[in-house]
């Protein structure tokens, strides 16, 4: 590993590499042991060189955004974490061949780097009176994580606004995948299946009324504050929505609100959220979610599936 570390220092520079970095600092759950190596890449060229090196050396690696949908194991991750949220944070309004950002269907194209936070982007787009992204503004993740998860809320999802994504494959090759090629489904995409890294995404938005856009964003934010336990660390909705049901309602009806294992608890405010009430370990979350799953299956014959992505298990 020492040889790999030296090569990574050569690629990224010492200032962009940390060792035994506690992942609880990089997840909204505030859970997770140390990553052996933690890197903040600055360019796609650096990333391509490192991916090639790690693939050759069979050293595992994972890419993260804001860590808002992650449960990292207590023992951490014995490989390299690439955190895209530090440097890949730019965006630009694109111009087509007529030197206008608006095409015939009145859509405006915006190219966004993978590490940009959805909330910041939403505010910027509202500043340009661009509509269509309001649904995502309260999701505390990055564009890369949102493409990967096909994140969605309040009737919208990334699939509705995504034109294409520029990705890097396991050989370090860069290609552009269209909306269809990304195979965006309910909280899924081809990104995880093929171990791709999202570098950039192009979104299509529409000119709108700035006041209406801002009101919509404020309305969604208000609904989140009212319904979600935002005062506690969590990774958002813990389970995917089972077909024909709502996970939160099933869990609430089963009397599991407030059910606690160690520092992990089914939120009293929203049973679809597992929260960290203090010092929760990944083992607490797993023990709790396993028991919730068993109970829901026993009572309803419904299998709950984790929406939260596990890392290091």
Ligand X SMILES: Cc1cc2nc3c(=O)[nH]c(=O)nc-3n(C[C@H](O)[C@H](O)[C@H](O)COP(=O)(O)OP(=O)(O)OC[C@H]3O[C@@H](n4cnc5c(N)ncnc54)[C@H](O)[C@@H]3O)c2cc1C
Active site positions, annotated: 187, 237, 307
Q: Which of 100, 106, 104, 141 is nearest to 120 (CA)?
A: 141
Shortest distance (Å) from residue 199 CB to ligand X = 7
Does position 145 interact with ligand X (CB under 6 A)? The reply is yes
Give the residue, chosen from 72, 80, 84, 280, that forms a contact with ligand X under the rule CB under 6 A.
84
- Are the C-beta atoms of 182 and 191 separated by less than 8 Å? yes
Give the residue, chosen from 44, 49, 54, 62, that forms a contact with ligand X under the rule CB under 6 A.
62
Give the residue, chosen from 4, 39, 63, 184, that forms a contact with ligand X under the rule CB under 6 A.
63
Is 311 exposed, middle or buried (CB count within 10 Å of its CB: 0-12, 13-18, 19+)? Answer: buried
Does position 64 interact with ligand X (CB under 6 A)? The reply is yes
- Are the C-beta atoms of 183 and 190 separated by less than 8 Å? yes
Does position 198 interact with ligand X (CB under 6 A)? The reply is yes
Does position 142 interact with ligand X (CB under 6 A)? The reply is yes
Give the residue, chosen from 46, 69, 137, 164, that forms a contact with ligand X under the rule CB under 6 A.
69
Nearer to ligand X, 101 or 263 (CB): 263
Query: E strands of 135-277, at which residues?
Result: 152-153, 156-157, 162-168, 174-178, 197-207, 234-237, 260-261, 264-266, 273-276
Numbers of helices and strands, H then E, in the chain: 9, 18
Scanning the structure block, which residue is given the tokens 């919730």? 292
Total of chain residues touching ligand X, rule CB under 6 A: 33
Cα 260 from Cα 275, distance rounded (Å): 10
Give the residue, chosen from 113, 166, 234, 267, that forms a contact with ligand X under the rule CB under 6 A.
234
Question: Given the rule CB under 6 A, which residues bind ligand X?
Answer: 28, 62-70, 84, 114, 139-142, 144-146, 148-149, 151-153, 191, 197-198, 228, 230, 234-236, 309
């Amino acid at each position: 590993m020492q040889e790999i570390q030296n090569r990574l220092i050569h690629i990224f520079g010492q200032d962009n590499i940390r060792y035994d970095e506690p992942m609880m600092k990089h997840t909204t759950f505030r859970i997770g042991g140390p990553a052996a190596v933690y890197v903040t890449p600055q360019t796609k060229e650096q990333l391509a060189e490192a991916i090639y090196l790690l693939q050759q050396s069979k050293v595992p690696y994972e890419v993260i955004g804001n860590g808002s949908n992650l449960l990292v194991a207590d023992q951490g991750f014995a490989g390299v974490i690439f955190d895209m949220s530090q440097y890949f944070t730019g965006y630009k309004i694109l111009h087509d061949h007529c030197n206008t950002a608006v095409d015939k269907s009145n859509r405006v194209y915006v190219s966004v780097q993978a590490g940009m936070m959805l909330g910041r982007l939403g505010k910027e787009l509202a500043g340009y009176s661009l509509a269509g992204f309001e649904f995502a503004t309260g999701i505390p993740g990055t564009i890369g994580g949102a493409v990967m998860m096909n994140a969605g809320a309040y009737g919208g999802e990334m699939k509705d606004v995504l034109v294409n994504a520029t990705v890097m494959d396991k050989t370090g090759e860069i290609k552009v995948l269209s909306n269809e090629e990304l195979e965006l489904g309910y909280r899924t995409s081809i990104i995880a299946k093929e171990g791709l890294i999202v570098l950039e995404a192009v979104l299509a938005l529409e000119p709108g009324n700035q006041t209406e856009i801002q009101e919509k964003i404020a309305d969604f934010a208000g609904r989140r504050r009212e319904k979600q336990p935002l005062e506690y660390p969590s990774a958002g909705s813990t389970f995917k929505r089972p077909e024909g049901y709502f996970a939160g309602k099933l869990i609430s009806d089963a009397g599991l609100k407030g059910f606690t294992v160690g520092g992990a608890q089914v939120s009293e405010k929203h049973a679809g959220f597992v929260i960290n009430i203090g010092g929760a370990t990944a083992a607490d979350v797993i023990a709790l979610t396993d028991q919730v799953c068993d109970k829901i299956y026993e009572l309803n014959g419904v299998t709950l599936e984790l929406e939260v992505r596990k890392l290091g298990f």
